[in-house]
Amino acid sequence: MAADRQNSGKSAAPGDRGSQKVAPAKPDWADGLRALYDSVVHEPLPDSFMDLLDKLDDPPASDPR
C-alpha cells in the first residue's frame, strides 16, 4: 500500500529546483530575449558587409598614382 504511493503527479514537485524568487521583476523569458540578440551578434559575419564597406571606402578612381 505504502509502496503504491508513487509519484503519479510527477510534474507537481513543488519548490523542487531553485524556485526562490530572487528577482521577481524578471520574467522567465527575459534571458531568452538577450540570448536571441546575442545569438545573432555572435554569428559569423557574412563577407557581404565588409565587401560593402570596402567598396564605399575605396576612392572612386581619383587615386593619383
Site residues for another protein per CB under 8 A: 17, 27-43, 45-46, 48-50, 52-53, 56-57
Q: Which three cell numbers stand for residue 1?
A: 500500500
Q: Which is nearer to another protein, 5 or 49 (CB)?
A: 49
CA distance 13 to 7: 9
Least separation in angstroms between CB 46 and another protein: 7
CA distance 43 to 48: 14
Q: Which is nearer to another protein, 5 or 42 (CB)?
A: 42
Q: Which is nearer to another protein, 4 or 57 (CB)?
A: 57
Sign of the torsion formed by the C-alpha atoms of 55, 56, 62 and 65: negative
